[in-house]
Amino acid sequence: MKRQIFKKEHDMFRKTFRSYLKDKIIPFYEEWEDACMIPREVWQEAGKNDFLCPTAEEKYGGAGGDFLYSVVIAEELNYHGLSSVFWPLHSDIVLPYIELYGNEEQKKKWIPGCISGETILAVAMTEPDAGSDLANLSTTAVRDGDHYIVNGSKIFISNGQLADLCVVAVRTSETEKSYAGVSLLVIESNRKGYRKGNNLKKIGMHAQDTSEIFFDDCRVPVENLLGKEGEGFIYLMQKLQQERLVIAIGACAAAEGTLDITLDYVKNRKLFGKPLGKFQNTRFTLAEIATKVQLARSFLDDLIPRHMAGENVAREVSMAKYWLTEMQFDVADKCLQMFGGYGYMSEYLISRFFVDARVQRIYGGANEVLKEVIARELKI
């Protein structure tokens, strides 16, 4: 079905990007899953092909495309079960902090490397004790002349091993309103006192490096402050709309990919002398799944243009992230069941769709938290 939000140039870009994935990413993905890391060279190659930061301004070396190019990239990665390729985090979640809150000097210094893939980005908010409760974070940045002295730790940091540049939420002051003392520092990973911990072992998304980060008297120049001191909490809240939308987009695409490989399987797999797809349970289950996926797609294709137009759709985006990630996991679970014992084997793509789906309900705001956000918007 032709999707009205895309123009001809977006469709052409999708065709090119899909071909790139089939030639350069999919054949090697299992190796990266085993290594628990995607080689840095893969990022650099993506940069050469304009697949990183597609919306970055031309004056910094970017293509200056609209957000729909990012949508295409997120959809294709997730549709093909390549969710560990965290280019959307780099391009659409972390880079916008620099683009929106950075000064011109900072933009010229950092953005070109992000576009080329020479500089890999991460964002560090979550802490071992506070989780994602930013108002109570304990990583401190104490002013010492023209530097901040940073101490503390972060956990579950995506791109944590590969990252060259990390946007870090720190506490720069103690105030009555604890969120008012939060600031954002951009910290280079090669600074003394910046230490990468273990590449954490996960039940899914094995090729994505997820790490602990420690700061031990790490001296960071004041010029690395992003925006204004004490405004970090506000900045983080302002960017959650796009972050959660990106997660929802990936969830819908992954559900579509899961459905399509299952449709192919049930047409060919025989049970009791006839294709599995001829049994009523199979047909009804897949009909229900296809309906949910189509409804999700329609919801997203309404939300995306509204987000691009600058509309405040925080409530709707919270709904999308919560409902679509729940749907994604339910689809993966029900489809895996149709593969029988083969579905539990890691050599089958359905098993990756299943394990990779689980974390979607946690990061970017746990779904229980998002239900609370929605309830507040309902004035209850």
Catalytic residues: 243
Q: CA nearest 254: which of 355, 158, 122?
A: 355
Structure tokens of 157? 């940091």
Contact between 55 and 69 (Cβ < 8 Å): yes
- Amino acid 139 reads T
Contact between 54 and 91 (Cβ < 8 Å): yes
Longest dimension (CA), the chain: 79
Contact between 55 and 68 (Cβ < 8 Å): no
Contact between 297 and 220 (Cβ < 8 Å): no
Q: Is the dihedral of CA 349, 242, 92, 209 positive or negative?
A: negative
Contact between 194 and 188 (Cβ < 8 Å): yes
| Residue 347 backbone dihedrals phi, psi, to 5 degrees | -75, -15
Q: CA nearest 267: which of 338, 362, 315?
A: 338
End-to-end alpha carbon distance in the chain? 39
Q: Cα separation of 119 and 188, whole Å?
A: 10
